[in-house]
Amino acid sequence: MRLSKYIVKRILLLIPVLIGVSIIIFALSRMTGEPAAAYITDKMTPAQIQQVYEKYHFDEPVVNQYWYWLTGILEGDWGFSKIAGVPVNEAILVRLPVTMELTLLSMAIGIPIGITLGTKTALRKDKTFDHVVRVISLVGVSIPVFWLALILQYVFYYKLDILPAAGLYDIVRWSFTPIPDITGFLIIDSLLVGNFRLFGDHILHMVMPAVTLSFGTIAVLIRIQRNSMLEVLNLDYIKTARAKGLPEKTVINKHARRNALIPTTTVVGLSFGGSLGGAVLTESIFALPGLGRWSASSITHFDTTSILGFVLFIALVYSLVNLAVDIMYAYLDPRVKLE
Amino acid sequence: MEGNTDAEPRKAGGSKIIVFFIVGLLLGAGLGAGIMMALGDDDNGGQATEKIVVVATISGNPESLDPAVDYETVGGEVIQNVYETLMFYDGDSAATLVPMLCTEVPTVANGLVTDNGLTYTYHLREGVKFHDGTDMTSEDVFYSFARALRLNDPNGPAWMVGELLIPDYYDYSRGKYLSDGNLNATSGVPMDVIYDHIWMKDAYTVQFNLTVAFPGWNYVITFGVGSIVSKDYVEANGGMTQDGYNYMFSHMCGTGAFSLESYYPDTHFILARHDGYWREPAKLSKVIIRQIPDANTRLLLLKSGEADVASIPRTLRSSVISDSNIEVTEGKPTFNIDFIGLNQKINFNSTAAPNTNVPANFFADKNVRLAFAHAMNASKLIATQFYGAGIQPNGAIPKGMFGYNASVPTYTYDLALVKSYLENASTPGNTSNYLAEGFNIDIFYNTGNTVRQTACEMFRDGLQAANPDKIHVTITGVEWATYLALRKAGSMPVLFLGWAPDYADPNNYMQPFFHSAGTYASMCGFGNDTLDAMIEQAAGELNPETRTTLYYELSMYLYGECLHIWTVQATNFHCERVSLDGYTFNPMYSGLYYYPMDK
């Protein structure tokens, strides 16, 4: 099957997947709580509470509520985010660039380190280096993000004063200069307007959050890549390559590591999707105005409309990332057919 | 060497490229950025010569920055510093008002309150400029109030003005927009009614004609809804249309000491000094209010000096109190109080309260209410749940507010009294009493709210100790949504509630809690004509001394009736760098008031 045909087919398959997801998340949102809770305060009179129910159709059957929500989604009206104070789709679009930047930076740190250490531990199996890295990766998987973030802040911000603690940039410094907003990605926008100092300041602010977020990815990738490499290194074609007298560098880099990367690719894809939706603590601790922080706020304030929009968006992103991973699979392993 | 074809297998693997990549990344990100920052020191916009205060506050976006609509504290703080009202609080006093945009606070004595308290006249200050450079006149004052009443947002603060100023106010709907974006003339409070009650007597005199005498009126219009907006600015940006309404959600033009320079949701506000301010301009050139969700991050920002003020929870008190660079102000009473409502018309059903065997009017018996009041160990609740930072209120009027009287007693934790009152409480048919017969009751709290959970446990411990064999209190934690549903259905015997004031007048507490038309009186199923008359008399009394006496009598009457149980009046906890001066705590402020501050 041709690649373009395959992509179209997969995108069409997304429709039933997303409808299924929408039904599940909507049903869950109505089973786990009262959606009106976000709009009701202690001071409201019974009449005002009733008005809330009528305004948002919370007094109608769940099927009707789902229909209102779904038709709204299809018409581009994802509802109003009480937490953000703007429509849900606008809230997502405004916050997506920050989360994307954070995710991409954390991946840029996590992927090379994870794959390199995973490969090296496999090549040094049962040696001291292997044991040390495996312990570190175990710690990396287990360590709570909030604790790691606080330690990093304490050491690199408070004690050493070499990295900023929070925010996208130094607000005091840039309070005299307009902040560009062209694409929403500050890394790109600062370069587009030629403001290299803002670019540098922004990168500095993203270092600690990106390192924090990458820690889990690094730990997982080390373990996956190590196991995968060990498996590949024991296969006959590697022995054949060595017997043929190929340089070890060629054997490892060209024959072993490339094949060992196939299962790792899946994990990278899932980590990417997970980071997009799961940077809740990182964004909160480092005060980054991204999707994770918004979703966490929505959950704690029972803002069901925002939660529904967020989950649906993340489901869509996950599906697209999976599609990208499948296409990459075909590139990495010619035996895989696009069927 | 890595990459050497003669190397051992373990040393191969393309390490050079990867090491180069990582080093490049970190150097590029860290050192590169640092160098660029260093190169940028000459382009700091003059910040070194400016006085900038950074406030690290908790996360939260305003519902709106429009004073006609906003009814919460995040937007309230910005509104308080960008807009001004006709009067404002005098320093730390919530009882004394000083003139701001008017020249004199109306009183009966100075002749500006006339017609038996129904007419309030304000002479406006001349030469006051809005941030857009236009002059403030009575047209702006009229427009600001009229706009709030035309919009008449039911979730906003317009009701405060409307219920005193407009006859049959609650018959009017919210302002609704037509498909062309214009405000429907038949919705909201009509203009002809507004014209009857707000008069522009000349360019600098405005008169309000109230429908009911209420000496707290000056306090009502000192709330954010009384902020004066620039008519020219609003009209230039859509006026009363839907576009104008949306525009004012995030744009501001007041007369305050600061103007809104920028606002980034989830991130920060920047307020800039208004150099054309009618008083001496503020000493601070900018105020940056940053949203920092994590308390530990806020603590580090404050300790490092990057933030001048930070919202620090009391749990981190030891970290700030020991720092010589940080000054802590604490223990001053806020006007926020928590209380427990006792439902006199419980709408039981077996699902909501499966263990309960008391009648629906269980709490209609004063003896039962008093037994519950004396079973509550408020001191312990304050010590364990508020870290000692609270006061047990002696009634609805909080300490520090006009009408508060320290001689009104509080309910003490006393098991002997619990027994005594239960013994005096007859069971249905007067066959026995609740001490001898006992009772079973379900009490609910919303999961995660440890204050309410602890209060439930105190009720249980205090009541069950009176007769352990026959009194059973079942405590159930339910999700907030379920809790709301139970409350909506009137199913909860005991309701945990909190109240923050809208304006600094005791009627803002008495009316909702005790008047039969008040929110909480109806929620707790009681109505009392005698009480209603007392509340209305005290609310409308123009003589301050007589009014004080009336509120004392009312408080003593309510102490005897024990309609609600008052658990805690919270106290403040404020942390700032010692380099900052001018902080004033006033329980009626929305957050901080920056004009007097300096660093």
Q: Domain of B127: which CATH number?
A: 3.40.190.10
> Where is the domain boundary, B259, B280, B301?
B280
Task: Return the higher-pLDDT residue of B514 and B3.
Answer: B514
Same domain, B210 and B96: yes
Q: Do B481 and A113 touch (CB under 8 A)?
A: no
- Kindly tell me if the per-residue pLDDT of B42 is higher than 60: no
Tokens for B141, please give them.
């004052």
Q: Strand ranges (DSSP E) for A88-180?
A: none
Same domain, B276 and B346: no
A297 domain residue, yes or no: no
pLDDT profile of chain A (339 residues), mean per 10: 75 85 85 71 67 77 85 83 85 92 90 88 86 84 86 92 91 85 90 89 92 87 88 86 84 82 82 77 91 86 84 86 79 64
Interface of A with B in 3-42 (CB under 8 A): 32-37, 40, 42
The domain total for chain B is: 2
Query: Which residues does chain A have within 8 Å of residue B61's beta carbon, measured at their own beta carbons?
Result: 83-85
Task: Return the higher-pLDDT residue of B479 and B275.
Answer: B275
Q: Is A251 on the interface with B (CB under 8 A)?
A: yes
Beta-bridge partners for B498: B338
B543 domain residue, yes or no: yes
Same domain, B188 and B99: yes
Same domain, B250 and B396: no
Average pLDDT, chain B: 87
Amino acid at B490: G
Give the pLDDT score at B46.
53
Q: Do A249 and B12 touch (CB under 8 A)?
A: yes
Give the domain range for residue B82: 57-280
Q: Is A219 on the interface with B (CB under 8 A)?
A: no
CATH number at residue B421: 3.10.105.10
A229 domain residue, yes or no: yes
pLDDT in tens, B516-565: 887 788 788 888 899 999 999 999 998 989 999 999 999 999 999 999 99
Same domain, B130 and B203: yes
Q: Is A252 on the interface with B (CB under 8 A)?
A: yes
CB atoms within 10 A of CB A39: 21
pLDDT in tens, B393-403: 999 999 989 99
B431 domain residue, yes or no: yes
Q: Determine phi and psi for A96, rounding to 5 degrees.
A: -60, -45
Give the domain range for residue A204: 99-289
Q: Do B64 and A253 touch (CB under 8 A)?
A: no
A215 domain residue, yes or no: yes
**Over residues B244-256, mean pLDDT:** 93
Its pTM surpasses 0.90: no
A143 domain residue, yes or no: yes
A133 domain residue, yes or no: yes
The domain total for chain A is: 1
The answer to which of A217-226, B47-56, B68-77 has the lowest mean pLDDT is: B47-56
Q: Is beta strand B258-264 parallel, antiparallel or unpaired with respect to B268-273?
A: antiparallel
- For an interface test with B, give the residue of A30, A32, A39, A42 to mutate (most B CBs within 10 A): A42
- For an interface test with A, give the residue of B43, B55, B61 to mutate (most A CBs within 10 A): B61
Same domain, B272 and B372: no
Give the pLDDT score at A119.
87
Helix (H) or strand (E) holding A140: helix A128-142
- Kindly tell me if the per-residue pLDDT of B38 is higher than 90: no
Give the pLDDT score at B579.
94
B28 domain residue, yes or no: no
pLDDT in tens, B108-138: 999 999 999 999 999 999 999 999 999 999 9
Q: Is the dihedral of CA A118, A119, A121, A122 positive or negative?
A: positive
Query: Which residues does chain A have within 8 Å of residue B25's beta carbon, measured at their own beta carbons?
Result: 108-109, 112
Give the pLDDT score at B33.
57
B190 domain residue, yes or no: yes
B407 domain residue, yes or no: yes
Q: Which residue has the tokens 């800039």?
A: B272
- CA of B344 to nearest chain A CA: how many angstroms apart? 17
Give the pLDDT score at B154.
78
Same domain, B354 and B471: yes
CATH number at residue A253: 1.10.3720.10
Same domain, B204 and B82: yes
B43 domain residue, yes or no: no
A307 domain residue, yes or no: no
Given pLDDT bands bounded at 50, 70 and 90, which one contains residue B414?
Answer: very high
> Where is the domain boundary, B280, B315, B350?
B280
In this structure, are residues B535 and B547 in contact, taking their beta carbons and an 8 Å threshold? no
Give the pLDDT score at B285.
94
**Over residues B402-411, mean pLDDT:** 94
Of A85, A112, A285, the CB nearest to B265: A85
A48 domain residue, yes or no: no
Rounded distance, CA B443 to CA B353, Å? 8
B61 domain residue, yes or no: yes
Task: Return the higher-pLDDT residue of A245 and B8.
Answer: A245
- Kindly tell me if the per-residue pLDDT of B41 is higher than 60: no
Give the pLDDT score at B48.
59
A132 domain residue, yes or no: yes
B173 domain residue, yes or no: yes
The ipTM estimated for the assembled molecules is 0.85
Q: Do A85 and B64 touch (CB under 8 A)?
A: yes
Q: Strand ranges (DSSP E) for A146-290?
A: none
Same domain, B275 and B354: no
